[in-house]
Amino acid sequence: MKIGLISDIHSNLEALSVVLDALKENNCTEIICCGDIVGYGANPNECIKLLRSCNLKIVLGNHDAGVLNKTPLYYFNEVAQKAILWTRKELTRDSLEYLDLLFLVDHSYPFHIVHASPQAPGKWYYILSLPEAIHQFRFFEKPICVIGHTHIPLVVEELNNQYRIIEEDEFLIESGAHYLINVGSVGQPRDGDPRTTCCIYDTKKKLFKRMRLEYDIKSAAQKILEAGLPKVLSERLFYGR
């Protein structure tokens, strides 16, 4: 079985559409999403509708929680606050009800699925370095924990109490090893590469693969401007920052 792994869509319909098409073309029969369907972008309802048509396992992200008033606005910067307030007004009742059903953690085999960190799913900690990642391994028992939140891909492997960052976009999951995998961002990459990001895990071959895909950034950015959202949310899409 091939499983698609995505996170941080942030209402970017153009990016999500390209990713879902790619996962379908690669014969993924299930998709795992590490949260943040909404926030920042201009198509929250459309993204939710598209995801609901998939065989999907998904957890709650901090922007999803912010829209639902489950995380206070003061946790967010000014730009994010404006996007959350806009999104609240834009979402349909069906969309809000869908978000409200999401849990912070999913333990579906063989993954531990959470948006930010296994240590404290509702605290929205950022894991950006090897020491920060190493600290998290004590908080999950599954062989693989998949996360998002930082919008920056990161893979850390623990094998025989030795830790290393895996730089390759494609690698084998080793027997007896544990992995903390940040799958990057579909809708707003922040690692300097503006292309959308998704991953695939082949459960038979034990093969993990990260893909970067071109999408219509110009259209997504223009929609943000037309919606009256902060200009910076449009501009940053072109730079992956």
Distance CA 108, CA 42 (A): 31
Structural domain contains residue 78? yes
| DSSP reduced 3-state for 186 | coil
Q: What is the pTM of this model?
A: 0.97
Structural domain contains residue 240? no
Residue 150 pLDDT: 98
Q: What is the CATH number of the domain that holds 154?
A: 3.60.21.10
> Whose CA is closest to 65, among 55, 57, 73?
73
Q: How many domains does the chain have?
A: 1
The pLDDT tens digits of the residues spanning 27-53 come to: 999 999 999 999 999 999 999 999 999
Q: How confident is the model at residue 108 (pLDDT cuts 50, 70, 90)?
A: confident
Residue 137 pLDDT: 98
For residue 154, what are the domain limits? Answer: 2-235
Distance CA 10, CA 56 (A): 17
First and final C-alpha spacing in the chain: 33
Structural domain contains residue 241? no
Residue 52 pLDDT: 94
The pLDDT tens digits of the residues spanning 59-103 come to: 999 999 999 999 999 999 999 999 999 999 999 999 999 999 999
Mean pLDDT for 139-160 is: 97
Q: What's the one-letter identity of residue 135? A: H
Structural domain contains residue 126? yes
